[in-house]
Amino acid sequence: MNEPWWIDLIKAVILINLLLGMFAYMTWVERKLLGRMQLRYGPNRAGPFGLLQPIADLVKLIRKESFYPATAVDFLYITAPIVSTFTALLAFAVIPWGEGWHIAGYDISGEIADVPISLILIFALGALGVYGFIVGGWASDSKYALLGSMRTCAQLVSYEVALALSVLGVVLMAGSLSLTQIIDEQQHTIWYVIPQFVGFVVFLAAGTAETNRPPFDLPEADTELVAGYHTEYSGMRFGLFSMAEYVNMIVLSSLCVTLFLGGWLGPWPPLGPLWFLLKVLILIGFFIWLRATLPRLRYDQLMAFGWKVLLPVATLNALVTAALVVAFS
C-alpha cells in the first residue's frame, strides 16, 4: 500500500481526539439515559440540555486540588493512572473502522496499525492496563484502596479466561487473529453473531465484568470500600482512572462489533465508519441499560458466575466450534 508514515500519524491524532470526545459526551448520554429510565431529568444546567456538563466536569477535575497520602509511593502512585489510560487508548489502534480509501494517490487504511495478531495484542494491553489499577491501589498506602485493587485483580482472573475462550470460536471460523481478516471473512460469509451467538453472549457478560460495569462493579463498591482502588486519588489523576474505564468500555464495544457484528459492514458500503459507530453506540446503550436495571452482585455471586457459569459455557462453545470446523473443512 502507498501509505506513508505521516498518514498513520494524522489518523492517530484524529482518532485519539475523537475517542476522547466520545468518552466525554458518552458520560452525558449515560446520565441522560439513566435519568429517563429512572424518571428524572439528568444534567440540564450547564449549557442547553446540559451539553456543557462534560466540559464543566473537565474544568472541575483540572482545577481541583490534587492531594496524595504522605506515605504513598510517589512514582508508582503518579504513573498508575497514566498506564491505565495509555493502554486503553492504545488498544484502539488495531481496531478497523473502515474498509480503506484511495485519496490523492495515497492509500488510507481503515485502522492505524494492521497487526496479524491484533486480537492477542488487545487482550495483552487489557491485561497490562489492569496493573495501573492494582499498583495504584497498592501505592496509595491505604487499606481501602488495597482491598479495591485486590478485588480488581480477582475479577480480572475470574473473567479474563472466559472472555478469551468466547472469541476462540470466531478465530477458528475465520482462521486468523487479524481483526481485518475477521471482518473480510464475515463479508464473504455471514456475521459471526449468528453461528457464535453463545460466544457473543459470554463475551458481553465477561466484558461487562472486565470493564467494572454494573452489575459487576465491586472493585468500586462505594458502600463497602469507600471508592475502591482510587480512594486516595483526586483531581485529574482520579479523572484519568475514570477515563480509562470508560475508554475500555468503548474499546470492548468496538471489539465486539468487529468480531461478531461485521465491523464496518452495512447495507451501504460507503458509509462504513458510520455503520461501525452506530453499532458501537447501540452496544454502549445496552451497557447503560444494564446499569439502570440490574442490582450489584455480591462478591461470592460474582466469582461463582465467572468460574461456574461463563467459563464452562465458553469452553463448551469453543470445543463444539472446533469439532464443526474440523468436520466441514
Q: Which domain holds residue 116?
A: 5-328
DSSP per-residue letters across 258-325 = HHHS-TT--SSGGGHHHHHHHHHHHHHHHHHHHHHHPPPPPHHHHHHIIIIIIHHHHHHHHHHHHHHH
| Alpha-carbon dihedral sign for residues 271, 173, 306, 313 | positive
Instruction: Give SS3 for 106.
Output: strand
pLDDT at 224: 62
pLDDT given for residue 295 in this prediction: 87
Number of domains within the chain: 1
CA-wise closest residue to 281 among 95, 23, 35:
23
pLDDT at site 13: 92
Beta pairing, strands 106-108 & 101-103: antiparallel
Q: Which helix (H) or strand (E) holds 107?
A: strand 106-108
**Cβ-contact 153, 130 below 8 angstroms:** yes
**Residuewise pLDDT in 10s, the chain (329 residues):** 678 888 889 999 999 999 999 999 999 999 999 999 988 888 988 889 999 999 999 999 988 887 888 889 989 999 999 999 999 999 999 999 988 888 888 888 888 988 999 999 999 998 888 889 899 999 998 888 888 888 888 888 789 889 999 999 999 999 999 999 999 999 989 999 999 999 999 999 999 998 888 888 877 665 665 677 888 898 899 889 889 989 999 999 999 999 999 999 988 777 788 999 999 999 999 999 999 998 888 878 888 898 899 999 999 999 999 999 999 87
Query: Would you state the pLDDT for residue 225?
Result: 55
Q: Where are the alpha helices (DSSP H) in 38-142?
A: 53-63, 74-90, 118-139
pLDDT at residue 152, rounded to an integer:
84
Instruction: Name residues whose C-beta falls within 8 Å of residue 184's C-beta, 6 or more positions apart in sequence.
Output: none
Whether residue 172 contacts residue 195, with contact meaning beta carbons closer than 8 Å, is answered with no
Cell of 2: 502507498
Reduce the DSSP state of residue 12 to 3 states and report it: helix
The model carries a pTM of 0.92
- The whole-number pLDDT of residue 98 equals 86
For the stretch 1-41, pLDDT in tens is: 678 888 889 999 999 999 999 999 999 999 999 999 988 88
> DSSP 3-state assignment of 174?
helix
User: How far apart (Å, rounded) are the C-alpha atoms in residues 258 and 191?
Assistant: 10
CA distance 29 to 9: 30
